């Protein structure tokens, strides 16, 4: 079985939205100690929309490719849409079955975790009534 689909190889070689934002509204980093992956997600939010998203970090091909795919999927979305972007959505983009491979699943979901943690950190006061 080939764990590395074409899409993953392509994204890990030529990642989208790699870098940092000068005017980030959100900057949040997560680690995956099992694999050594590190992903920082930076967002520029204006008018309840994700105007810009960048990621930086290092790690295995899956973690970096998933971050690249995530940023492509999230850029330009409203906060509402971005919050409803699920791990199933991301796994569908990655396109390889990871449910039997919890180690690799952690790699794949690291960027989404960094993104959601950062996003919910900022939106906490808005979301109080939902708690
Ligand atoms: Zn990894």
pLDDT value at residue 129:
42
Q: How do the pLDDT tens digits run along the chain, 131 residues long?
A: 455 778 899 999 999 999 999 999 999 999 999 999 999 999 999 999 999 999 999 999 999 999 999 999 999 999 999 999 999 999 999 988 887 888 899 999 999 999 998 988 854 443 334 43
CA of 77 to the centre of ligand 1 (A): 27
- Residue 46 CA, ligand 1 centroid: distance in Å: 32
Taking a C-beta distance cutoff of 8 angstroms, is the pair 55, 111 a contact? yes
62 C-alpha vs ligand 1 centroid, how far in Å? Answer: 6
- This prediction has a pTM of 0.88
> CA 106 to CA 98: how far, in whole Å?
9
How many whole angstroms from 117 Cα to the centroid of ligand 1? Answer: 19
Q: Can you give the pLDDT at residue 5?
A: 79
Q: Give residue 30's pLDDT.
A: 92
Distance 128 CA to ligand 1 centre (A): 34
């Amino acid at each position: 079985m080939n764990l590395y689909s074409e899409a993953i190889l392509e994204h890990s070689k030529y990642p989208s939205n790699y870098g940092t934002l000068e005017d980030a509204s959100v900057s949040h980093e997560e680690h995956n100690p099992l694999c050594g992956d590190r992903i920082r997600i930076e967002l520029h939010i204006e008018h309840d929309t994700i105007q810009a998203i960048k990621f930086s970090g290092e790690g295995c091909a899956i973690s970096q490719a998933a971050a690249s795919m995530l940023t492509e999927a999230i850029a330009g979305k409203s906060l509402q849409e971005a919050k409803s972007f699920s791990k199933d959505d991301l796994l569908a983009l990655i396109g390889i079955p990871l449910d039997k491979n919890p180690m690799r699943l952690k790699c794949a979901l690291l960027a989404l975790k960094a993104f959601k943690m950062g996003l919910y950190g900022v939106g906490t006061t808005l979301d109080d009534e939902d708690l």
